[in-house]
A and B are shown apart, each in its own frame.
Chain A
Amino acid sequence: MSTIDPAGPYARSVTGLWWVMLGGAALLSLLVFVLLALAFRRRPDGDGVANPRLWIGWLGLAMPGAVLLPLLGYALVIGARTLPVPAEDAVAIDVVARRYAWDFGYPGGRRTRDVLHIPAGRPVDLEITATDVIHSLWVPRLAGKMDAIPGQTNRLRIEADAPGTYQGECAEYCGTGHGNHGFVVVAHDAAGWAAFIGERAR
């Protein structure tokens, strides 16, 4: 379930972003706390007024600007890379969320409930909607979340590196069953996926 133990390319790029931001945040908070502590050191009287250019110009304005702009660019690139752009080997699966189940429909007409089957190593585009209230589809180890909203269809791309099972859950509060509104993702190898999808598709 951990977002910092990614099992797919989209979750992994976000984990990278997270470690970078954590490092930066640690440095910046250290800077502020050290400056705060040093303010209380004993000083001779009449030490004079602090220089506003340094404190407000450089530390207050320039420094956050210099940190934020590259960070924004980095995040924007990562975000753009997780978009469901057309891809040759992508698989489209439609998802209907409701209280309290997840229905998945595959190419070829097969449907499953509360278990999402995907091929490993291929991008999967989920087309997500809901029939009653707002839910949110989230498989923390594979990708970020996407809301399931009645009356509209949202698309989310996920991908698993390797075959295996992954936990998914509902991340938007949806009523009394919200805590149990989870599902399982089963990633198949190529043969397993062919068998799964081929059963009725042919």
Chain B
Amino acid sequence: MKALQLHHELTAIWRTEPGWRGHLRSVNHSDIGKRFIVAAFVFFAIGGVLAMLIRAQLATPRSAFVGPEVYNQLFTMHGSIMMFLFAIPMFEGLTMYLLPKMLGARDLAFPRLSALGWWCYLFGGTIIVLAMLAGVAPNAGWFLYPPLSGRTYTPGINSDVWLLGVTFVEISAMCAAIEIAVSILKLRAPGMRLDRMPIFAWYMLATAGMMIFGFPPLILGSILLEVERAFGWPFFDPALGGSPLLWQHLFWLFGHPEVYIIFLPAAGAVSTILPVMARARLLGYGAIIAAIMALAFLSFGLWVHHMFTTGIPHMALGFFSAASALVAVPTAVQIFAWLGTLWSGRPQMKLPMLYLIGFFIVFVLGGLTGVMLAMVPFDAQAHDTAFVTAHLHYVLVGGFVFPMLAAAYYWLPHVTGRQRVMRIGEAAFWLIFIGFNLTFFMMHLTGLLGMPRRIDTYPEGMGWTALNLLSSIGGFLQAFGFALFLIDVVLQIGLGRVHRRNPWGATTLEWAMATPAPAYNFASLATVTDREPLSTQPDLGVRLARGEGLLAVARNGWRETMVIDMTTGAPEHVAILPGNSWLPITTAAMLGGFFLSMLAGLYAVAPLFLPMVAWLGWRWAWTNGYHEDVGPLDAGHGYRLPPSFEAERTTGWWGSVLALGASATLFTALLFGYAFLWTIAPNWPPPRLIAPSLAVPALASAGAALSVVTARQGRIAAALGGQAAIVVALVLLLWWAPAPTGHAYAATSAAIAAYGIFHAGTAMLILAFVAARARAGFHSPARSGEVRIARLWSDHGAAAGAFCAILLVVPGWLA
């Protein structure tokens, strides 16, 4: 009886409101995760239709099906959609849905942030697809190389759609990455030490880390290219001291890890599903974690393997060639760990396993061609041909789509609570598997026979005709396969019979709950003593539902979940999570207004949206916290833990650390660009440098010192003044600098100053917020968490501001 009452009370606190309000205001991770998955699949279908149009065009020589203008939009949109609107959001959705359940938590660390990410993704993706329907889709290839993507050669808004739309979507990816990392580090079941984490969490921790350090350079590149297009700042124009190669470095520099960012979550799904199918424990848990970390680290050192033919010296290429080939080692460790796991158990040929076999075959072949392409002389032949297209599809479809299909069949019973109805999934598998190999195996050969990628048609007599026809037939088989998969899923949702709990006999915590999952996941939280909680405690699900775990209370209408010590897994404090809210969707709408007015060329209107975003951010933060001391809460089992607003190191603090880490990465990439142009680009040194001045950097440094010292003494007004001094100093430098449109030196300098001004300005906003909160009674000696967070941002603003001011005058001194 107590269990039922607890269920009702928790549902009242956690539920999503019915009707359209629920759709707009929900912040629940299961809702957001499912939305991401559904939308990503819709975009996958759109990208798939584009692929079919491409294959129809290439099926015969001298085809007049679509002209080159349309064709260029087709392949650019196919690539962009599959990378940015399908693959990344798909694993984000899967992770958002699964992760808290696997970790034994009730939600993610920042529920409103995931909702914001969802709306940014939806709005950004919609902008891109609508542009395609309007015939102004991006058409410069999915990696958008300038000068082709620049204003001279793409005068329409096509490239702007890519730059603005994709950046909008990347905001969503950054939100998700911070969210996922903090949730894994802090929001786990008590007792779940790092070495007891489900392997999927390790994969996602590495992925989130790679996103935090991988996406900022891509975002920076997009900002610079958009500024060049909109305002004529010449970052990429060699006539004015820029270099088209700067884009390639920024795009691939950290944008390359994207491939591994897509592969790792899928590999995480494999490592989770495969042992269950094999009825064995995963072989080499520790070795796999080491392999994941090695992969994440190595993948940052091999961006140049996309640039082997750009004229980089051969010795440098040798280094990147070795790094690229070495990535095969941690990959092989995982492959053989999985094979060993299969050998340890008695594997069952259930449907998810069938898709895993497809993954093995396709991904191994893709990996082997990857090693071939890492060899510089061979790459010089195969680069930018159909061979590379074939390789990347083997890696991405093999390494992502097949595992995701396995994951779909494995976790659908969890999402729907139902079983499969007919054996359509097997037929879908064979169509997809045969169709895929027919399409892309042939393209290896077409590429070796000299067919470049991205050509809209070709003459007869090149030896490419029959191969292309076979590829196209394979492509259509594949499309039928995916249609069957969709039908299968719809049938399961509509007609499937209700199944018993944990149909696969899995050992991870997501199966210790009712399916479909209740809004609060667990009525009480598990205590974990080993890596496979459901094998040692088979009745755990029932006991948690009965309220025998921790936090088995519904109090004050609070959404409570446990925060633990990162390494030991000891309970630390209780997170009070925010409930459903208008803030995510309105904030995303304001950001959308900014991006749309940029797209429309209304450069005077666009900045007006930013104060609105700042105001919403203020409101957002204002709803956190509490206005009186509550003291430790009863968490059950004898634990008395403080609520999050009385804790020292909150999830918000960790989130801020990661956000600032991402920002610092973006700044590092900007400094890299500055140094790169200075040393490599033609037309340096620039005609005029910023005049050497001692007073301005001194002003900025004094402001920074003042801000750092006074923020620690609690003199917020003085700290605010320090940040203001930094802003004044940097604005003065901008004033004295040569016009940013004249030379890449002036343009990069202005970008550096803008970074400093933005961060000092943000610090001012946050300091003002803290002052207002203190006046409103939100702070006490116990409730000082947000003061600590503010200090983090203020210190960062101070350091960045002083550094920028000094850096900008140094060239003038040296000249």
Known interface pairs A25-B369, A151-B243, A175-B148. Does A50 touch B381 (Cβ–Cβ under 8 Å)? no
Residues in B whose Cβ lies below 8 Å from that of A92: none
- Which single member of A45, A83, A172 contacts B384 (CB below 8 Å)? A172
Point out the residues of chain A lying under 8 angstroms from B661, CB to CB: none
CB contacts (< 8 Å) of A64 on chain B: these are 328-329, 332
Complex CA distance for A170 and B385, rounded to whole angstroms: 11
Q: Is the CB of B283 within 8 A of A49?
A: yes
Which residues on A sit within 8 Å (CB–CB) of B381?
Answer: 3, 11, 14, 18, 140, 144-145
Inter-subunit contact A2/B463 (CB<8 Å):
yes
Residues of A within 8 A of B371 (CB): 21, 25, 68, 71
Say whether B457 faces chain A, with CB atoms less than 8 Å apart: yes
Kindly list chain B residues whose C-beta atoms are within 8 Å of the C-beta of A177: 68
> Which listed residue (B337, B347, B450, B455) contacts A2, Cβ 8 A?
B450
Let me know if B377 and A147 touch, CB within 8 A: no
Docked complex Cα distance between A178 and B456 (Å): 8
Q: DSSP majority for the B interface?
A: helix
Chain A residues 1-26 with CB under 8 Å of chain B are 1-4, 11, 13-14, 17-18, 21, 25
If A59-B332, A179-B455 touch, whether A2 touches B448 (CB-CB below 8 Å) is: yes
Chain B hits for A49, CB < 8 A: 280-281, 283, 344
**A52 in contact with B287 (CB, 8 Å):** yes
With A50-B340, A56-B284, A145-B381 in contact, is A176–B357 under 8 Å at CB? Answer: no
Contacts of B325 in A (CB 8 A): 68, 71-72
> Using an 8 Å CB-CB cutoff, how does the interface string of A17-41 with B read, 1 for contact, 0 for none?
1100100010011001101101110
Taking a contact as CB atoms under 8 Å apart, the answer to whether A55 and B340 are in contact is: yes
For this complex, into which size category does the number of interface residues on chain B fall?
A: 35 or more
Binds B, one of A102-110, A111-119, A129-137, A185-193: A129-137
Minimum distance in angstroms from A79 CB to a CB of chain B: 5
Q: How large is the interface on A (under 10, 10 to 19, 20 to 34, 35 or more residues)?
A: 35 or more
* B-chain residues with CB within 8 Å of residue A79 when the two chains form the complex: 314, 317-318, 375-377
Cβ contacts under 8 Å, A40 to chain B = 342, 347, 349
Known contacts A25-B372, A140-B381: A147-B311 contact under CB 8 Å: yes
A179 contacts B68, CB within 8 Å?
yes
List residues of chain B with CB within 8 A of the CB of A14.
377-378, 380-381
| A138 lies within 8 A of chain B by Cβ | yes
The answer to whether B456 touches A52 (Cβ under 8 A) is no
Q: Are A132 and B153 in contact (CB under 8 A)?
A: yes
Please encode chain A, from 121 to 143, with 1 for each CB lying within 8 Å of some chain B CB and 0 for all others.
00000000000111010101001
Within the complex, the shortest CB–CB distance from A34 to chain B, in Å, comes to 10
Task: Please name all residues of chain A whose beta carbon is closer than 8 Å to the beta carbon of B346 when the two chains form the complex.
Answer: 43, 45, 47
Is the pair B344, A32 in contact by a Cβ cutoff of 8 Å?
no
Which partner residue on chain B sits nearest A48 by CB separation? Answer: B344
Q: Smallest CB-CB separation from B387: which chain A residue?
A: A3
B contact residues around A65 at 8 Å (CB):
329
User: Which residues 59-91 of A have a CB within 8 angstroms of B?
Assistant: 59-61, 63-65, 68, 71-72, 75-76, 78-80, 82-83
Task: List chain B residues, Cβ under 8 A from A175.
Answer: 72, 148, 153
The residues of A that contact B682 with a CB separation of less than 8 Å are 151-152
Q: B380: which A residues are within 8 A, CB to CB?
A: 14, 82, 143-146
**Contact pattern, B 354-385, Cβ under 8 Å of A = 1, otherwise 0:** 00010011001100110110011111111111
**Residue among A4, A60, A138 with the most chain B CB within 10 A?**
A60
A173–B148 touching, CB < 8 Å: yes
Residues on B with C-beta less than 8 A from A35 are 339, 343
Report which residue of A63, A170, A175 has the largest number of chain B beta carbons within 10 angstroms of its beta carbon: A175
Judging by beta carbons under 8 Å apart, are B375 and A75 in contact?
yes
A154 vs B455: C-alpha distance when bound (angstroms): 24
**Residues on the A chain within 8 Å of B379, using CB:** 144
Cβ-based interface call for A149 (8 A): yes
CA distance A173 to B381 in the complex (A): 16
Q: CA–CA, A177 to B278, complex, Å?
A: 53
Q: Which residues of A contact B322 (CB under 8 A)?
A: 72
Question: Are the C-beta atoms of B148 and A80 separated by less than 8 Å?
Answer: no
Contacts of B636 in A (CB 8 A): none
**Complex partner residue of A136 from B72, B153, B337, B384, CB under 8 angstroms:** B384
Q: For the complex, is A159 an interface residue (Cβ under 8 Å from B)?
A: no
Within 8 Å CB of B328, what residues of A?
64, 68
B310 on interface, CB distance cutoff 8 Å: yes
Q: Is B340's CB under 8 angstroms from A52's CB?
A: yes
A140 near B357: Cβ-Cβ < 8 Å: no
Q: In the complex, what's the smallest C-beta–C-beta distance from B710 to chain A, in angstroms? A: 48
Interface flag for B238 (CB, 8 Å): yes
Bound together, the chains give a CA A175 to CA B75 distance in angstroms of 12
Residues in B whose Cβ lies below 8 Å from that of A146: 309, 311, 380
Given contacts A32-B364, A39-B343, A61-B333, contact A78 B377 (CB under 8 A): yes
Chain A residue at smallest Cβ distance from B153: A133
A174 within 8 Å of B (CB atoms): yes
> Whole-angstrom distance from the CB of B767 to the nearest CB of chain A?
45
Interface status of A150 (Cβ within 8 A of chain B): yes
How far apart are B139's CB and chain A's nearest CB, in angstroms? Answer: 9
B332 and A169 contacting across the interface, CB-CB below 8 Å: no
B271 to chain A minimum Cβ distance, whole angstroms, is 13
Q: How far is the CB of B573 from the nearest CB of chain A, in Å?
A: 38
Residues of A within 8 A of B147 (CB): 132-134, 150
Is there an interface contact between A56 and B283, defined as CB atoms closer than 8 Å?
yes
Interface status of A171 (Cβ within 8 A of chain B): yes
CA distance A147 to B347 in the complex (A): 50
Question: With A and B bound together, what is the CA distance between A147 and B463 in angstroms?
Answer: 25
Within the complex, the shortest CB–CB distance from B686 to chain A, in Å, comes to 15
Measured between beta carbons, the chain B residues less than 8 angstroms from A2 are: 448-450, 463
Contact partners of B451 in chain A: CB under 8 A: 1
A residues adjacent to B (C-beta < 8 A):
1-4, 11, 13-14, 17-18, 21, 25, 28-29, 32-33, 35-36, 38-40, 43, 45, 47-52, 54-56, 59-61, 63-65, 68, 71-72, 75-76, 78-80, 82-83, 132-134, 136, 138, 140, 143-147, 149-152, 154-155, 167, 169-179
B contacts, CB < 8 Å to A: 68-69, 72, 140-141, 145, 147-148, 152-153, 238-239, 243-245, 278, 280-281, 283-284, 287, 291, 309-311, 314, 317-318, 321-322, 325-326, 328-329, 332-337, 339-344, 346-347, 349, 357, 360-361, 364-365, 368-369, 371-372, 375-385, 448-458, 462-463, 681-682
Q: A39-B343, A56-B284 are in contact. List 11 more A-B contacts (CB 8 A).
A: A32-B364, A36-B357, A56-B283, A68-B371, A75-B376, A136-B309, A145-B383, A154-B310, A173-B141, A173-B453, A173-B454
A sample of 25 cross-chain residue pairs with beta-carbon separation below 8 angstroms, ordered by A number, consists of A4-B448, A21-B371, A48-B344, A50-B340, A56-B287, A56-B336, A56-B340, A59-B332, A64-B332, A68-B329, A71-B325, A75-B321, A76-B376, A82-B380, A133-B148, A136-B384, A140-B450, A143-B380, A144-B379, A145-B309, A171-B385, A172-B145, A175-B148, A178-B456, A179-B458
